Amino acid sequence: MKPIALIGMMGSGKTTIGKQLAKELHLPWHDSDLFIEQTTHEQIKDIFATKGEAYFRTLETRALQTLLTFPGILSTGGGIIIQKENREHLKNNAYVIFLEASIQTLVTRIDDQNRPLLQNEPMEQKLRTLYDKRESLYRECAHDTIKTDHKTVEEIITLIKQKLPQ
């Protein structure tokens, strides 16, 4: 079985849903951002601050290529779909689910202190800008989309389980 990859904006629930889904399906859980932090021994925000976004995106592509060789559930970083190579790799090597959430929902869920891309601009405005740039990219590589607004973790997991290929 191919890995199940969760994509979507920061705050859409990729980590929370990924951990619980892995537990319920008795599969390993992986997180691309956590993998990067563990392999570089640096926090994402520090990588952005000292080496820049382009360097981080290179690390992210390498992490994705590695993590998609493992079975299980993969929670990805919100910007993983920016690189065309990553979108193709996801679509071809995983069952990809876009966890879609409204900007209003994202604002209520996000702590912007640990989000490098949300610094120096009002959060809602920055989220809207990011979402407008990324929405079509999420849809391009997703096999399914689940709207997470006003749903519990359990409801979202039930929807995912219903959509999984048999």
- Judged by DSSP in three states, 73 sits in strand
Per DSSP, the residues of 21-55 read HHHHHT--EEEHHHHHHHHHTS-HHHHHHHH-HHH
Does the annotation list 11 as a binding residue?
A: yes
Per DSSP, the residues of 99-164 read EE--HHHHHHH--GGG-GGGTTS-HHHHHHHHHHHHHHHHHHH-SEEEE-TT--HHHHHHHHHHHS
Does the annotation list 139 as a binding residue?
A: no
Does the annotation list 33 as a binding residue?
A: yes
Rg (CA), the chain: 15
Does the annotation list 87 as a binding residue?
A: no
Does the annotation list 115 as a binding residue?
A: yes
Does the annotation list 147 as a binding residue?
A: no
Does the annotation list 134 as a binding residue?
A: yes
Residue 76 tokens read as: 């990805």
25-28's contacts with Cβ under 8 Å and 24+ in sequence apart are 25/73, 25/161, 27/71, 27/72, 27/73, 28/70, 28/71, 28/72, 28/73
Does the annotation list 16 as a binding residue?
A: yes
Binding-site sequence positions: 11-16, 33, 57, 78, 115, 134
Binding-site sequence positions for ATP: 11-16, 115
Binding-site sequence positions for substrate: 33, 57, 78, 134
Binding-site sequence positions for Mg(2+): 15
